[in-house]
Amino acid sequence: MTGTQLPLDPAERSSIIRDGLAVGLATGAYGISFGALSVTAGLDVLQTCALSLLLFTGASQFALVGVVASGGAPLSGALTALLLGSRNTLYGLRLAPLLDWHGWRRMTAAHLVIDESTAMSVNRESTSAARVGFLSTGLAVFVLWNLATLGGALAGTALGDPRTFGLDAAVGGAFLALLWPRLTSVLNRVVGVAAVALALGLVPVTTAGVPVLAAAVVAVVVGAASDRSPGRGARRRKGRHR
């Protein structure tokens, strides 16, 4: 789909911007929990803020911090973060023809390619509407996410021993909340259960950080294998309808 260059009606424009700001506010709340959990994991306030500024992709940031919290090497945390960040590449593929930006504009916009900005722009009918949706959501989330991270990190530092407030348990809850919307198909649930089993099996025999990285193998193996069964079935079904 390539966007058309129609001028955007002002009412539609302000409604898109309003939606973007609302999404920014909602993700801000989630930034507070990231900031607090990151300092709980042992990172300092500056490192926590650097993660939100430089990575600017929530699940990857939580993953890096989670691996460090469980005693893993920061570099295996970084690798886990990159694997999770790979989904932004696919978002970019869908956004590129729609946003139609080149040169420095594309280089700058790339940093704002996240779940929320994609969701708020990928279904627009014109390039101008997609750009407004992408920029308003991306910038609102960027500003509020970073402010919230700082606030959460300062609050987390002030709390003292995190175990008293159950903050170590909050990390598991945060990952579950990120995973929950993805558990829509049987295949995804099977992958989830297999990944937990593999990771827990490896905990006693490998250094921390490795069990989580190893779980990526489950995604690769199942992704490659599922071509044979459901994929072919789906194609057959599609063929019948034709």
118 vs 136, beta carbon nearer another protein: 118
HSE (side-chain half, CA atoms, 13 Å) at 236: 7
**Is residue 8 a contact partner of residue 124, using CB atoms and an 8 Å limit?**
no
**Is residue 190 a contact partner of residue 222, using CB atoms and an 8 Å limit?**
yes
17 sits near another protein (criterion: CB under 8 A)? no
Q: Choose, by CB under 8 A, the member of 26, 119, 143, 155 that binds another protein.
A: 26
129 sits near another protein (criterion: CB under 8 A)? no
Q: How far is the CB of 233 from another protein (least distance, A)?
A: 13
DSSP E strand boundaries for 21-158 = none
9 vs 217, beta carbon nearer another protein: 217
Strand partners, 4: 126
216 sits near another protein (criterion: CB under 8 A)? yes
111 sits near another protein (criterion: CB under 8 A)? yes
55 vs 135, beta carbon nearer another protein: 55
16 vs 64, beta carbon nearer another protein: 64
**Is residue 61 a contact partner of residue 55, using CB atoms and an 8 Å limit?**
yes
1 sits near another protein (criterion: CB under 8 A)? no
175 sits near another protein (criterion: CB under 8 A)? yes
Q: How far is the CB of 70 from another protein (least distance, A)?
A: 5
104 sits near another protein (criterion: CB under 8 A)? no
Q: How many residues bind another protein (CB under 8 A)?
A: 105
Q: How far is the CB of 136 from another protein (least distance, A)?
A: 18
137-166 residues in contact with another protein (CB under 8 A) are 163-166
SS3 101: coil
SS3 183: coil
Q: Choose, by CB under 8 A, the member of 9, 119, 125, 182 that binds another protein.
A: 182
**Is residue 50 a contact partner of residue 72, using CB atoms and an 8 Å limit?**
no
Query: How far is 205 from 199, CA to CA, in rounded Å?
Result: 10
| The two structure tokens encoding residue 31 | 């930034």
Query: How far is 140 from 152, CA to CA, in rounded Å?
Result: 18
3 sits near another protein (criterion: CB under 8 A)? no
Neighbours of 177 (CB within 10 A): 12
57-86 residues in contact with another protein (CB under 8 A) are 57, 59-60, 62-64, 66-71, 73-75, 77-78, 80-86
Provide the residue count of the chain: 242
> Can you say whether residue 160 is alpha, beta or left, with left for phi > 0 and alpha for psi between -120 and 50 degrees?
left
Q: How far is the CB of 104 from another protein (least distance, A)?
A: 12
107 sits near another protein (criterion: CB under 8 A)? yes
